[in-house]
Structure 1
Amino acid sequence: MSTDDASPTSTVLVVDDHRAFAEMLATALDMVPGLRCIGTAFTAADGIALAARLQPDLVVMDIQMPDEDGLAATARLRAAAPAAMVAVVTAHTSPEWVGRAAQAGASAFIPKNGSLREMISVLTRVHAGHMSVAPSTYLVPPSPPPAPPPAALNQRELDVLRLLATGTPVKDLAVTLGITVSTCRSYVKSLRQKLGAKSQLDAVLKAREQGLLGTDPPELG
């Protein structure tokens, strides 16, 4: 495919089960000199049938579709429209998927999490016999921030927390632990502060997230 103004317009077929994405990409392609979208399909089967009828120069193929894997569809489409080049678009970015796309006969690999500008840039440079890979394929996502360390709770606070997790009201909890209601409320307040919780329920949820609640009942003396 060439972007030279003197070159004939290259026809493009978009195959993607996300209708809004397919239609927006089709509109964007029609605004690119040298490209013209001649159809959209929302299933792999319809895409193959449309490609066989229209014989486009380029097919933009989603890898993940409900009726058929896009890579399997790519191989079948290449048989239905031998002159068509296929650019696969996908949420997958590992080198393994790039290799699988190449084996299926694709001429381009474009992650969906990249920009529209990048996608258009790759599509205008696709040519047979060469695998074009979008630069964003090799971008390593940032590592998630480390989880905060579990809150440091003393044994009595853990006793209160475990009883709260069973739905025990504060008054009954105080009786069970042999402490006053006022003292029990102080423990609950301390728990909420240490866990950064807005309520007793939130304290229990945050404690579960931090692994502070075991499966065994509290041992009360």
Structure 2
Amino acid sequence: MSSLGIEHELRVAVVDDHTTFAELLSDALGREPDLINVGHAAGVDEAVALCRRARPDVVIMDYHLPDGDGLDAAEQILTTAPDTRIILLTGNPSPDVLARAAGSGLCGFLPKDGSLSTLLETIRHAKSGSMVVYPAILSQNRRAQAAKPPGSPALTQRERQVLALMAAGYDVRTNSRTLGISQHTCRGYVKSILAKLGAHSQLEAVATAQRLELLGAGHER
């Protein structure tokens, strides 16, 4: 425990080629007693080198970088440091980008023009193996796509509710409490969703559901 009485300090790196944005974000991180800014990189190669040197717990990564994209950097970083939590800042990722992110171990998508409080909360609660996609990004992506592709799997109303909570990054315990069902029943719905979507993990299921436009704006119980 630190001298400030903070039990868990998080080391955070910023990867963005926009110097002003990166400096403002770094300054904001420096004002948080439980967050330690360990450096800034402006591209993929710099990000990989920074993470090998500074070993951050969390990386805030812009998607658009001059020598590649944020997923390129994330994949290289996670190869050598799989426990690193990486949050991608972007505007409106395509379903293909979401699917690639789900398989890469990314922890979340946030809009680059979103609030600082949301970013700080996501940094503090980011978990490896759980991808959080900000609702506004899902909404933008749905509006940008055409009609639902033919042959989409038929999900029940309850499966859609569970799927929506999965997409928000909640765990089985939270989902079961939210829906008023047992954890055993909730796990059964998750298994059914994975089978119908041909997915091997919840992250892959969410990415597939996004591609097929199965994540509606809201559902009734």
In the TM superposition, what is the alpha-carbon distance from 1:30 to its structure 2 partner? 1.9
Distance in 1 (CA, whole Å) between partners of 2:17 and 2:68 is 11
Correspondence for 2:8 = 8
Per the alignment, in what secondary structure is the counterpart of residue 14 of structure 1?
Answer: strand
Distance in 1 (CA, whole Å) between partners of 2:85 and 2:70 is 14
Correspondence for 1:215 = none
Per the alignment, in what secondary structure is the counterpart of residue 7 of structure 1?
Answer: coil
Q: Contact 2:105/2:128 (CA < 8 Å) preserved in 1?
A: no
Correspondence for 2:48 = 48
| Matching of residue 73 in structure 1 with residue 73 in structure 2 | yes
Moved more, 26-35 or 40-49: 26-35
Residues 56-112 of structure 1, C-alpha deviations (whole Å, 9 max, x = no match): 101111111111121111100112333311111112244443332222221111111
Q: Which amino acid aligns with 1:111?
A: P
Distance in 2 (CA, whole Å) between partners of 1:83 and 1:94 is 26
- In the TM superposition, 1:42-191 aligns within 5 A as 42-140=42-140
Q: Contact 2:44/2:65 (CA < 8 Å) preserved in 1?
A: yes
Residues 137-159 of structure 1, C-alpha deviations (whole Å, 9 max, x = no match): 23447xxxxxxxxxxxxxxxxxx
Correspondence for 2:196 = none
Q: Contact 1:118/1:134 (CA < 8 Å) preserved in 2?
A: no
Q: 1:137 to 1:9 in 2, by over 3 A?
A: same
Distance in 2 (CA, whole Å) between partners of 1:108 and 1:76 is 17
Which blocks of at least 5 consecutive residues in structure 1 are unaligned? 142-221
Q: 1:135 to 1:35 in 2, by over 3 A?
A: farther
Q: Contact 1:51/1:80 (CA < 8 Å) preserved in 2?
A: no
Taking every aligned residue pair, what percent have the same amino acid on both sides?
36
Q: TM-score, normalised by structure 1?
A: 0.57
Q: Which amino acid aligns with 1:102?
A: A
Distance in 2 (CA, whole Å) between partners of 1:99 and 1:33 is 35
Q: TM-score, normalised by structure 2?
A: 0.57
Q: 1:137 to 1:45 in 2, by over 3 A?
A: same
Q: Contact 2:44/2:72 (CA < 8 Å) preserved in 1?
A: no
Higher relative contact order (CA 8 A, sep 6+): 2
Aligned residues: 138
| Structure with greater Cα Rg | 1
Q: 1:74 to 1:131 in 2, by over 3 A?
A: same
RMSD between aligned alpha carbons?
A: 2.1
Which blocks of at least 5 consecutive residues in structure 2 are unaligned? 144-221
In the TM superposition, what is the alpha-carbon distance from 1:46 to its structure 2 partner? 0.6
Distance in 2 (CA, whole Å) between partners of 1:111 and 1:96 is 17
Q: Contact 1:122/1:133 (CA < 8 Å) preserved in 2?
A: no
Distance in 2 (CA, whole Å) between partners of 1:138 and 1:69 is 20
